[in-house]
Chains A and B, each alone.
Chain A
């Protein structure tokens, strides 16, 4: 069958760049498939999306070699408008791509423009909304919707045009895990029921592996790997070198395979199949699960070593919230009765759905919002009586979007800026900034805005590290970063904690939270549901359900293995813990 899109030896260089963004790409995409594209930052993912939607070469000028054929037509020969009849796209910036202020008008826009007969419009409008599951949002103002809802509006607006291909550039970058999954469920339904080819560019490998039937990995503008998700994620070591993460279950399978224990050549991608694989291995080695005697009560024994329990003498608290209420004057979700203590040297993760009040919590801590009841004491200062600019000398914040934080002409000035604001003499500030910049390997003389997204995040982080704060607040520190950048950022955060800084981290990525947080606070509907050591929180299935959080795969797997009767797995949080336990069980018996 003729592929719906074929990319033939395409090399593309943006007009203002010296190196090509894509080099000799050769891909053909068959109709009806769901293709995931993953890559390290700056490896050409967004350029590939632009190529597929015709935005390159029509919207982005540059040098274009080779040919892209969409439904047989060369994209260089037909106009962008005509390409859009076949390929609809959803871009990264949810807000900027909206052309109307009401959901209904947003969907009408394309239908009207492409001259859909007016007697068909109502039907197309309704079916697009229903397919995406947002029929109830028809008359809503787009500005009042959540990120996940907006994303679905963008998908519905694209689908109303009945495209044959849907291209999405990082649709879940700003969404919580539940909304992300719901967006991917929508894509799966659209693909299954309407045969729409879906191409999705994404960092979230766990979602890609669960929903795509083909995964393409880009490395420095070239296709490095291309195949079914199990074949691709079997190459964990190579992926890591490229800067791409693997799903945790695949990591377990790959480690077991590397130890020569796993016979199945392909890795498990989800918890259920990892469970089956390990069960098979154990039984093959004669390890039988213990009969499920009592069933309910699971022992909570931690086998993996790690920080978590406070040491003998608790360290001083750097953040104390007690009985904190806050309501926004214009209405909207506030928070009530928050109590939380973060000690020096501790990493406290805050998890919960979008709208649970996490961002409000961070703003209460750095003083941008003042509690209407209760008290917030950060680094020994009461946020009500101390001005924000004074608090900022000891309490640093790293915002989700680094671009809002950066304002200087060079990286060096940017990093030194905070120090100078707090009264450090210029020479000393520059010297300290230089030391941090060297440690991060950043280009000191470059303009921050000319750097990549990940590097800008590092610059923003460097300008908080240099302050040597008593408390640092991180709002989604890893969103939009690739695996390698994520590890650099989180490694730095851990170093800061080791030097005695308290860390309050809001994060959607449960794997990151479980890897790095010592304790976790769970929020829902503006309240604090629970706070405790990460393994206890994540293994509390009831709590996870109330907060609509999916526990990290490894913790889930360990809990399910323990429930099966392999009690040795109870309480394990890390990939290596699972692998070591499997080895112990089969070699010691």
Chain B
């Protein structure tokens, strides 16, 4: 079973970057996406992300994610287009400004979601946590909480799937085509999911404590995460992207 954020092994420059530099680069692309107003810039940033994904071997994941995001983007486009009333009317009460702002929102949605996912597919979660502790001086407990939460996402979604399967086999109509009915049927399942989640979280906390969690300091990590020239390059690229997006 593969998940969107599972690590994809590789030796590319993106893989070898310091996790903090990857995080910073992703953040810069996101920031640039927010700042950029012109369509070429927005499309360019999205294309950049996809190109990096193709280079690092995670294009397939990104495209799978796009399949989910594009309908959402279209929904945003439609809503924005309908609600923005300024500008020159085109047809059916749709204005040119409305259309432009809707398209920008849709592109931003895609541009914001993809860089972080790309970053996660080329970084092991433990490296991310350890590097944040070492370089950014984030307290380990926060880094651990964050990575554990990410690690548990697929665990819980598998649990949810298993629960749905069990309920379907009992005759609950999850195979219905009506999404609202399906949602209503799913609500009672929150109870078993919550109960198993609380149990798993507790077991994880106990296991971590029994393996010396509270003794961990910034110097504990066996692997070291120094910032190198390559990382400086990535940071420079990020800053340049933000500057370009703000000025253009």
A: which residues have CB within 8 A of B? 53-55, 59, 80-81, 84, 88-89, 91-93, 95-102, 105, 108-115, 118, 121, 139, 141, 143, 157, 161, 330, 332, 363, 366-368, 387-389, 392-393, 396-397, 399, 401, 403-408, 417-418, 421-422, 449, 463
Contacts and interface: CB of A to CB of B under 8 A. Distances in A.
15 contacts: A59-B209, A80-B209, A80-B210, A84-B211, A89-B210, A97-B203, A101-B151, A102-B124, A110-B211, A389-B172, A392-B168, A404-B159, A404-B162, A405-B167, A418-B170
B220 interface: yes
A421 B148 contact: no
A332 B1 CA distance: 8
B184 to A, nearest CB: 13
A388 B169 contact: yes
Contacts of B96: none
Contacts of A59: 206, 209
Contact of B222 (A108, A418, A421): A108
A93 B203 contact: yes
Given A97-B204, A113-B215, A403-B196, A417 B170 contact: yes
Contacts of B171: 388-389, 392-393, 418, 421-422
Q: Please indicate which of the listed interface residues B148, B204, B216, B222 has the most CB atoms of chain A within 10 Å of its own CB.
A: B222
Nearest to B173: A389
B165 A141 contact: no
Shortest 10 CB-CB contacts between residues of A and residues of B: A113-B212, A392-B171, A97-B207, A96-B203, A110-B211, A105-B126, A96-B200, A404-B166, A421-B171, A397-B169
Given A91-B203, A121-B222, A392-B170, A53 B210 contact: yes
A477 to B, nearest CB: 14
B175 A157 contact: no
A110 B209 CA distance: 10
Q: How many B residues are at the interface, by size bracket? A: 35 or more
A102 B126 contact: yes
Interface stretch (B44-52, B185-193, B227-235): B185-193
Contacts of B144: 99
Given A96-B204, A100-B126, A387-B175, 7 more contacts: A81-B215, A114-B212, A157-B211, A330-B1, A387-B173, A399-B162, A407-B191
Q: Which of A59, A407, A417 has the most CB of B within 10 A?
A: A407
B57 interface: no
B199 interface: yes
B208 interface: yes
Contacts of A121: 222
A102 B125 CA distance: 9
B216 to A, nearest CB: 5
A80 B209 CA distance: 7
Nearest to B163: A404
B192 A403 contact: yes
Nearest to A105: B126
B187 to A, nearest CB: 10
Contacts of A421: 170-172
B222 A111 contact: yes
Contacts of A102: 7, 124, 126
B215 A55 contact: no
Contacts of A368: 165, 168-169
A407 B126 contact: no
Contact of B124 (A105, A330, A408): A105
A366 B212 contact: no
Given A109-B211, A112-B222, A96 B192 contact: no
Given A55-B206, A93-B203, A405-B170, A110 B212 contact: yes
Contacts, number: 162
Contacts of A111: 222
Contact of B207 (A54, A96, A418): A96
Contacts of A100: 125-126
B92 interface: no
Contacts of A161: 211-212
B177 to A, nearest CB: 10
B193 to A, nearest CB: 9
Given A89-B210, A403-B192, A113 B173 contact: no
A363 B222 CA distance: 44
A96 B197 CA distance: 9
B151 A388 contact: no
A405 B166 contact: yes
Nearest to A463: B170
Nearest to B154: A143
Nearest to B205: A59
Given A99-B207, A113-B211, A143-B154, A388 B175 contact: yes
A91 B213 contact: no
B166 A101 contact: no
Contacts of B214: 81
B183 to A, nearest CB: 15
Contacts of A80: 209-210
B155 interface: yes
B211 A141 contact: no
B38 interface: no
Nearest to B170: A418
A557 B172 CA distance: 47
B6 interface: yes
B221 interface: yes
Nearest to B160: A404
Given A95-B155, A418-B170, A81 B188 contact: no
Nearest to B148: A99
Contacts of B155: 95
Contacts of A141: 6-7
Given A114-B215, A392-B169, A91 B207 contact: yes
Contacts of A113: 211-213, 215-216, 220
A84 B169 contact: no
A112 B220 contact: yes
Contacts of B166: 397, 399, 404-405
A84 B175 contact: no
A385 to B, nearest CB: 13
Nearest to A108: B222
B167 A407 contact: yes
A153 to B, nearest CB: 12
A55 B203 CA distance: 11
B124 A143 contact: no
Contacts of B201: 96
A395 to B, nearest CB: 8
Contacts of B189: 407
A91 B144 CA distance: 20
